[in-house]
Copies of this chain bind each other. A is one copy, B any other.
Amino acid sequence: MCLVVGFGCGSPEPRIDTSDGLRQAIATAKAGDEIVLANGTYTDLALDFTGRGTEGKPIRLVAQEKGKVFLEGESYLRLSGEHLVVEGLVFRNGHTPTSEVISFRTAKDSLCTNCRVTECVIDNYNPSERFESDYWVGIYGRNNRFDHNYLTGKRNQGVTLAVRLDSEESRENFHRIDHNYFGERPLLGSNGGETLRIGTSHYSLSNSNTLVESNYFDRCSGEVEIVSSKSGANEFRGNTFHECQGTLTMRHGNGTVVDGNFLLGNGKPNTGGIRIINAGQQVTNNYLYGVTGHRFRAALAIMNGVPDSPINRYHQVTDAEARGNVFIDCDHIELGVGSDGERSAAPERSLIADNVFVNRKRSDLFTVHDDISGITFRDNLLDEQLTAPQEAGFRNIAIELAGAEGLLLPTGLPAADSIRTRMADRGTPENCGVDWYPIREEGQVFGNGKTIRITPGENTLSDAIAQSAAGDVIALSAGEYLQTKAIDLRHPLTITASGGEKPTLLFRKTSFINLENGGALTLQGVRVDGRECLDQPLNSVIRTSRYSMVNNYKLIIENCDFTELDVNHSFDVVRVAKHTFADSIVLRNSTFHNVSGSVLPLHQENDDIGIYNAENVVIENCDFDQIGQAALHLYRGGTDESTFGPFLTIDRCTFDEVGMDRRNRSDSAIRLYGPQSVSITNSIFDDSAPVRLHLVVGDPVISLADCVFSGGTELLDNGAPYTTENLLFLPEPITTLPDGRAIGSQLQ
């Protein structure tokens, strides 16, 4: 029997509510039946698909035509029963009101056995709240298959695909997850950005026996763990990780096999490899290329454990094998990583053998954090110039590389030959996902649109922006621009000067430009003057949405001057809201004079669970003068280790009389709390509140070099280590570096 449900085929995206017909069809379906969802768009469809098919006669729920059936709004799908198949649905333009978009259960005790979801798409199906958690797919029960699906653009907290082991009936499950295309997952800036998780620590001593095979992970960069295996006896085979900023981690559980996977970092920053924790893990015949990450994100990371670890901490590595893997141009191999007072149990009874290491740009790959006498090294090959971590078990030879289907592999070495035999089965963009839905680019791009030229006047800028599209450039001729309305920006836009004298931007609302969800801004060559602003506290020039933003944003300010931002107290240059996240904030060649508030107060995440407001902050060749509160306050509280940022660079900047307002609760000119990577160079801190460093988590890489602290400005820290070089502390105020070098944009 074949039931077609839904109406309006042929008409452009008719809105259909078929709940009753569909419920009826499902309730009466028998083994071998096919329920066809008619082409069209279904809104708020809560779809419970239950039934009992048989091995040869499943009950199928399918799209009339693939790519023409859309579930939108608050639609979601739950399945339970036996031998059910779902095929060809697209979830988009909405989000699930429940905890899962596709759930392999309809109630706590109604699970799936031998069910399959194939050729479905979930495309940016996110709530508006970044930290409203959900999973896109939750797999329960046993012997289910999830294959050939395309999942792209998950931006809120919560695992993309979770295999759940939370009842006896879901363990030893033998699920198969294969040939899925996991599209881009942007940085979450928090724990909960995993793409695939199997189990949780609670049940991690149970075996899951899940097979993850021939999937394609494309720029899945939500957090440290792209794949988090948290149960025993899983197998990862033939998966490709393309430029993912995170790792395949055996976080909990024992006896997992990672064989024949392809991790292609391609030299991109922060790309990650394979991380081993717990007992009996097998990591064999994997190919890693251009993986640049270090520490937890190293190409190969073998961690230290906690003696008698609680179930949710780090179990000691024992009986691990890393064999026959090939590392080309990967930057770090870390052994005993995470070693600290708590994680003091070094690896035991483990083997690193028959691996090949080539790096054509550096000589040292290995970082040994603790005693590695529990690891046996055997027959590992190093390219000629590489240094071994110890003599035994390593041999330097000249290794030649040759192209093979787009990969660079050593010639004449058995490890490479094993990998070559596995190439045919690896996941690729071609054999993963579906071929009837376009692959999306999820990022923000500036400057690829049209140019709109405008002249001075009242609201001429907002009028132009209302007409603009993503990537457009608004070019301003010289003169005064007055905004009596705030501007809500919802796409990437460049505002730049046409040439001649810098245009002056004035505004009357509490803010000038609001980066709403989807918005991003490059501001170039303008003067921003606060003299027309409302006489009230807490104005700002640029602010994020006051609401949570599920899209990350970019903000780039170049060659701009900010002045007279002091009509009332606490006037900030940039104001960000809680639960917004900047991919990058760049201030370059710009001046900030007479600001009563702060320039970059990036400290709105106050839950102390490892969430923060900006991943990359770059401040170059800028001059800060008379800033009431902190020029920069960058805060990441908590002890969570799921993220890598924030990253901060300050170079060639001058800070003069910064942070002296009595309302400056940070009591700092710059306050950095919990940053993971900081470089401050060639800068002067004069007559200012202290520069404060509070280092709390991980082993952050922090350095200050060639800086002057004058007029009594202090550098204060919490006692945690960081590196300094050529810092000069002077009691008197100064205006130039002692060697005469010009610093700060006003001094160029």
Contacts and interface: CB of A to CB of B under 8 A. Distances in A.
A133 B508 CA distance: 11
Nearest to A488: B97
Contacts of A607: 537-538, 570
A536 B192 CA distance: 9
A176 interface: no
A663 B607 CA distance: 9
A107 B579 CA distance: 38
Interface string A597-610: 00000000011110
Contacts of A538: 131, 607, 609
Nearest to A536: B133
Copy number in this complex? 2
B535 A133 contact: no
Contacts of A537: 607, 609
Contact of A534 (B99, B107, B509, B547): B99
B608 A665 contact: yes
B129 A546 contact: yes
**What is the interface of chain A mostly: helix, strand, loop, or mixed?**
loop
Contact of A458 (B107, B133, B548): B107
A200 interface: yes
A509 B74 CA distance: 14
Contact of A200 (B535, B570, B579): B535
Given A510-B132, A607-B538, A98 B578 contact: no
Interface string A531-574: 00011111000000011100000000000000000000010000
Nearest to A192: B536
A570 B640 CA distance: 15
Contact of A485 (B97, B202, B485): B97
Specify which of A508, A535, A537 lies most central, judged by the most chain B CB atoms within 10 Å of its CB. Answer: A537
Contacts of A547: 546-547
A484 B101 CA distance: 12
A705 interface: no
Question: Which 8 residue pairs of A and B lie closest in terms of their CB atoms, listed nearest first?
Answer: A97-B485, A98-B484, A547-B547, A99-B508, A98-B485, A537-B609, A133-B536, A133-B510
10 contacts: A99-B508, A99-B534, A129-B546, A132-B509, A132-B510, A192-B536, A202-B535, A570-B607, A570-B609, A578-B578
Given A99-B484, A132-B509, A133-B510, 10 more contacts: A132-B510, A133-B534, A133-B536, A202-B535, A546-B547, A546-B579, A547-B547, A570-B607, A606-B606, A608-B665
